[in-house]
Copies of this chain bind each other. A is one copy, B any other.
Amino acid sequence: MSGSESTTTGSLLVVSAHAGDFVWRAGGAIALAASRGERATVVCLSYGERGESARAWREGHSLEEIKAIRREEAGNAAAALGAEVRFLDAGDYPLVESQELVDQLVRLYRELSPTVVLTHTLTDPYNGDHPAAARMALQARVLAQAIGYDAPGDPLGAPPVFFFEPHQPEQCDFRPDVLLDITEVFDRKRKAMECLPAQQHMWDYYTDLAKRRGVQLKRNAGPNLGLAHSTMGEAFVRLYPQVTGELS
């Protein structure tokens, strides 16, 4: 979606280390934003060509072929969710942090003026690229706020940041403090997952996880909220304090 016809100022930015991460971990949040008419943009720092394409390597594909495959699949998945996608092609395994890459992110922040930012957790003992992506996403967000930082556009406000759920949440110090109801857009998330055929076993895995987070969502909301039995959820951790005019 382009968001150009939207009258809302909502703009979601998702910073993802590899091409598929945003689908499993934040597909529901992205589809929800898009369904509200907000702009949703996914930035893939790499294609996950080395670290998350085992099957393609076993099938004998070349590096460039793998990148092309991943790019196409991620584009399809983003479209299914209603989001735009940008690829920075910074390489993975390892995703090397650099000021150049941070600067590219600063420019994106200035261009997109996100009102909400999603990224990886800062701890992940299974995948160093994830925290590297998160650190750069956070550093760029702070730099983009400074009028003195030399990049086009106006200084950024202070959009809230949410970490999306890693594969082994407890090992990544991921203690959810926000449970998002994605029931109404779960079909879109499932369709987006099905754009990634090499990881077919993940489709059911993340469907099960959405059910599990949905059960917890109901348990934390109480019977009064009138949630259906088939509630689907996504879990997030909020980095900065919530600012609000009403406790709820």
Q: Give the distance in Å from the alpha carbon of A125 to the alpha carbon of B154 in the complex.
A: 21
Q: Give the distance in Å from the alpha carbon of A235 to the alpha carbon of B170 in the complex.
A: 11
B240-A171 in contact (CB<8A): yes
- Nearest B residue to A53 by beta-carbon distance? B148
Among candidates B53, B147, B208, B235, residue contacting A57 with C-beta atoms closer than 8 Å = B147
Q: Which residues of B contact A142 (CB under 8 A)?
A: 93, 126-128
Q: Which residues of B contact A54 (CB under 8 A)?
A: 146-148
Q: Is A3 an interface residue (CB 8 A)?
A: no
A180-B247 in contact (CB<8A): yes
B241-A225 in contact (CB<8A): no
A146-B50 in contact (CB<8A): yes
Stoichiometry (number of copies): 6
Q: Give the distance in Å from the alpha carbon of A32 to the alpha carbon of B208 in the complex.
A: 25
A242-B178 in contact (CB<8A): yes
Against B, the Cβ 8 Å flags (1 = close, 0 = not) of A186-206 are 000000000000000100010
- Contacts A219-B167, A222-B157 given; indicate if A180 touches B245 (C-beta within 8 A): yes
- Nearest B residue to A124 by beta-carbon distance? B142
Q: Give the distance in Å from the alpha carbon of A139 to the alpha carbon of B12 in the complex.
A: 31
- Nearest B residue to A29 by beta-carbon distance? B247
Q: Which residues of B contact A240 (CB under 8 A)?
A: 125, 171, 220
Q: Which residues of B contact A217 (CB under 8 A)?
A: 243
Q: Is A168 an interface residue (CB 8 A)?
A: yes
Among candidates B149, B158, B239, residue contacting A222 with C-beta atoms closer than 8 Å = B158
Query: In the complex, what's the smallest C-beta–C-beta distance from A208 to chain B, in angstroms?
Result: 4
Q: Which residues of B contact A180 (CB under 8 A)?
A: 244-247
Against B, the Cβ 8 Å flags (1 = close, 0 = not) of A132-169 are 00000011001101111110000111111010000111
Q: A36-B246, A169-B170 are in contact. List 7 more A-B contacts (CB 8 A).
A: A49-B148, A157-B223, A158-B219, A158-B224, A160-B247, A171-B175, A180-B245
Q: List 25 A-B pairs, Cβ < 8 Å.
A: A36-B246, A58-B147, A66-B148, A93-B143, A94-B99, A94-B143, A115-B248, A126-B142, A128-B139, A157-B223, A158-B220, A170-B175, A177-B238, A177-B241, A178-B242, A178-B244, A179-B241, A179-B243, A180-B244, A180-B247, A181-B245, A205-B212, A212-B212, A225-B243, A236-B247
